[in-house]
Amino acid sequence: MTQAPPELPLHMRRDHFDPVAELAEVRESEGVRRVTSTFGMPAWLVARHDDVRDVLADATRFSNASQLAFSLPDDPRSAEEKRKALAGQMLATDPPDHTRLRRFLTPEFTVRRMRRLEPRIVEIVDQHLDAMEAAGSPADLVPSFALPIPSLVICELLGVPYADRDEFQHRTARQLDLSIPMPERIALQREGRAYMEKLVAGAKADPGEDMLGMLVREHGADGLSTAEAQDGAAEITDDELAGLASLLLVAGHETTSNMLGLGTLALLRHPDQLALVRDDPDAIVPAVEELMRWLSIVHTGVARTTTQDVEIAGQHIPKGELVLCALPSANRDPSFIDDPDTLDVRRGSMGHIAFGHGVHHCLGAPLARMEMRIAFPALLKRFPDLASALPFDEIPFRAYHFIYGLHSLPVTW
């Protein structure tokens, strides 16, 4: 690790929990600013709540399907390999292709389905708390609690052997890390793909009761190529299946776990609010929404590409340009919520856009909400004296990552 990491683009810069002052300044002044995207390409950064909602709600003028947002500098892959790698990648499609892919999965993520999962999530949370208690204070909350709980949940749901977790946890975390050189990230992407293809082949040979098995049973297609599947086919191709499963595995790991780690630290820094979440069973639902809003761990989501000339906040933007939506800045827009920089778990506004907005609104939101609503109070009840073992300034925040969080959180109780 001798190479200096690249300079962070504006939309990823934070001061501990908070987006940097410069981002607020964009929001309070012109609203839209020309910046450099994560991959060094020019892009427009949209910073106000209303404008971000408008962009995300309009998949016609702001497209996800353009290869532009997914093209990486120095990408050694052939066009065919890239196309294969994007099959099933919902975040790289627009309606109607997006609608087709998303509808394969919506039945699995209904509010009712999630309620059926609840007892198993409670059990998984309790097991991890038991293990922490047995091992004794101190512990690192990230590997002992924040990461393994969502990991086990998504593995069971999908039908991914939990025994393989070390391998793919390492892979997914590094794939989304900007400080890792591009060739290594592409190699990791290829490895991940090969792993998923093996799992899909296994599910096709012997479909189980999990989500992969269900998708194979209900939509499995033999020998259908991805090109043939484009026109609203009810069958899912093997490439798409591998793509959907990879997306769920990455999204299921890298998001909820960071909310659990960062959210716990946020509560530790606000002891009165922590006490409320611990002691009042009605406090957790609004608290999760407020933590989501205040932390906004997804900096921007996928860059959109303009399909025509547009105007945002009075700024003319030509066709074919990248647009980035600054979610933390939008969620702290005083025109959206009063006193936006203060964490107040009592208010819990649902109008935040930390799960995105529009047709790509987070598919896993009902699952993530349920995991957080169970995990935070259980942790705080089990260890009422939970405290950070490090001074605040020494806690390692995860800056170079597409999703914000903590590398580790040593705690005592």
- Verify binding: residue 357, another protein, rule CB under 8 A: yes
- Verify binding: residue 374, ligand HEM, rule CB under 6 A: no
Reported in sequence order, the residue ranges of 75-185 that DSSP labels E, i.e. its strands, are: 139-140
Task: Reduce the DSSP state of residue 310 to 3 states and report it.
Answer: strand
**Residues contacting 89, CB < 8 A, separation 6+:** 243, 247
Q: What share of the chain is helix, strand, coil (3-state, %, to 5)?
A: 55, 10, 35
| Residue 128: contacted member of ligand HEM, another protein, none (CB under 5 to 8 Å, by partner type) | none
- In the bound complex, what is the minimum distance in angstroms from residue 234's beta carbon to another protein? 12
Residue of 360, 347, 359 lying closest to 292 (CA atoms): 347
Element (H, E) at 192: helix 182-205
Segment contacting another protein by CB under 8 A, of 81-89, 195-203, 247-255, 363-371: 363-371
- Verify binding: residue 217, another protein, rule CB under 8 A: no
| Rounded-to-integer distance, Cα 205 and Cα 200, Å | 9
Of these, 351, 384, 396, 400, which contacts another protein (CB under 8 A)? Answer: 351
Q: Strands 322-325 and 304-306: what pairing?
A: antiparallel
- Verify binding: residue 150, another protein, rule CB under 8 A: no
For ligand HEM, give the closer residue by CB, 156 or 413.
Answer: 156
Of these, 36, 99, 144, 307, which contacts another protein (CB under 8 A)? Answer: 99
Of these, 23, 367, 370, 411, which contacts ligand HEM (CB under 6 A)? Answer: 367
- Verify binding: residue 45, another protein, rule CB under 8 A: no
For ligand HEM, give the closer residue by CB, 102 or 413.
Answer: 102
For another protein, give the closer residue by CB, 325 or 409.
Answer: 325
Of these, 109, 195, 336, 402, which contacts another protein (CB under 8 A)? Answer: 109
- In the bound complex, what is the minimum distance in angstroms from residue 223's beta carbon to ligand HEM? 26
- Verify binding: residue 248, ligand HEM, rule CB under 6 A: yes
Of these, 106, 127, 308, 342, which contacts another protein (CB under 8 A)? Answer: 106
| Helix intervals (H) in 29-88 | 49-57, 79-86
Rg of the chain (C-alpha set): 21
| Residue 350: contacted member of another protein, ligand HEM, none (CB under 5 to 8 Å, by partner type) | another protein
Of these, 69, 274, 276, 297, which contacts ligand HEM (CB under 6 A)? Answer: 297
Of these, 68, 72, 275, 359, which contacts another protein (CB under 8 A)? Answer: 359
**In this structure, what token pair is assigned to residue 78?**
């052939």
Residue of 261, 288, 256, 287 lying closest to 273 (CA atoms): 287
Q: Strands 322-325 and 410-412: what pairing?
A: unpaired
Residue sitting closest to ligand HEM (CB): 364
Segment contacting ligand HEM by CB under 6 A, of 196-204, 211-219, 364-372, 390-398: 364-372
Characterise 232 by phi-psi region: left (phi > 0), alpha (psi -120 to 50), beta (else): left
- Sheet strands side by side (includes 387-388): 139-140, 410-412, 387-388
Of these, 112, 272, 311, 316, which contacts another protein (CB under 8 A)? Answer: 112
| Residue 301: contacted member of another protein, ligand HEM, none (CB under 5 to 8 Å, by partner type) | ligand HEM
| Helix intervals (H) in 206-255 | 211-219, 226-229, 238-254
| Rounded-to-integer distance, Cα 303 and Cα 325, Å | 7
Element (H, E) at 14: strand 14-15
| Residue 220: contacted member of another protein, ligand HEM, none (CB under 5 to 8 Å, by partner type) | none
- Exposed, middle or buried, 79 (CB in 10 Å: 0-12/13-18/19+)? exposed
- Verify binding: residue 259, ligand HEM, rule CB under 6 A: yes
Of these, 107, 183, 208, 271, which contacts another protein (CB under 8 A)? Answer: 107
Task: List contacts with another protein (CB under 8 A).
Answer: 57, 99, 102-103, 106-112, 350-351, 356-359, 361-363, 365-366, 369
Give residues in contact with ligand HEM (CB under 6 A).
Answer: 90-91, 102, 154, 247-248, 251-252, 255-256, 259, 297-298, 301-302, 354-356, 360, 362-364, 367-368
